Amino acid sequence: MKRLLLAILVLIAAAPAFAWGEKGHYIVNEAATLGLPTDMPPFFYKAFPDLVWLAYDPDRQRGGGASLDAANPPNHFLDYEFTAGLTLPADRYKFIELMTRSGRLEQKAITNSEAGFLPWQIAEEAQRLLVEFRLWRASVPGSSDRAIIERDIIHIAGVLGHFAGDSSNPHHTTIDFNGWIEPNPNGYANDCGTHSRFETAFISRAVTTANVTPKLAAPKLRTDFFAAAVEQVQASNHLVERLYQIDKDGGFNPIGPIKPVALEFASDRLAAGASFLRDLWWSAWVNSAQPPKRSSGD
């Protein structure tokens, strides 16, 4: 028994702290499919299995090479404390400029990608989805063009689910992403295991889609994808200390009885991610009925 416990703890400590964990991402996308309104194109509903499988795709992209391994990780988080008080632009490159011009990079001793780009990644993917839905509306039914566009839509929508899910995980919105690094009078965990203990080990053994779907919010039409993503990150960031309190009380322990407070918290956060993703899918479809806004330079 002791050897089994040791093996479990070693595996958990070694788990990569990259995202919700495979099961968590599948739950987010599956719950989003179950909460969709009924006015989307039929091909989208038929692709539910693909939408669920694609939820983990961005984490499968690790190890491709130096360029990809540099670009991919910052898209999964925003350490909100680094940006607090700043008005964030919707353009990620202007954000980098702002972080330099405001002195935040120097003040926080970070590079131009260490704060993360999660809200920008969400907005960019959601806007890609909207454009593809516009192209679908303009395509000829039964044509090869429409078939290709449908494949693109499903791929973008599934991958978008990964980042929408990340935005609902408090660990992906804070400098305390894998252990408490701020002044710590409450004795929160700083063992570099809290990230995987919550999002991988606990989710894998304790949470199912059935725990999440009853908690989905009512559909909400989103017109500003970036503002919605920032709002989602802020909401998750406000729950960082609550997550650490539950962890300190043993809520996310890898063995032993599942504590209701831990299950409730995890299910709530997964439901927040699924509700947000559902809104992004549906809003991209609804908004695609409108022609694109043209800039004054067009």
| Separation between Cα atoms, residue 170 and residue 240, nearest integer Å | 5
Q: Which is nearest to 163 in space by CA: 49, 53, 59?
A: 59
State the Rg of the chain over Cα.
20
Could you read off the pLDDT of 136-190 as tens digits, one per residue? 999 999 999 999 999 999 999 999 999 999 999 999 999 999 999 999 999 999 9
Contacts of 266 (CB under 8 A, 6+ apart): 198, 202, 203, 206, 207
Is the per-residue pLDDT at 10 higher than 90?
A: no
Contact indicator for 27, 212 with CB cutoff of 8 Å: yes
Q: Provide mean pLDDT across the span 37-47.
A: 98
Could you read off the pLDDT of 90-147 as tens digits, one per residue? 999 999 999 999 999 999 999 999 999 999 999 999 999 999 999 999 999 999 999 9
| Separation between Cα atoms, residue 232 and residue 234, nearest integer Å | 5
Report the percentage of the chain scoring pLDDT > 70. Answer: 92
The CA angle 161-12-113, to the nearest 5 degrees, is 50
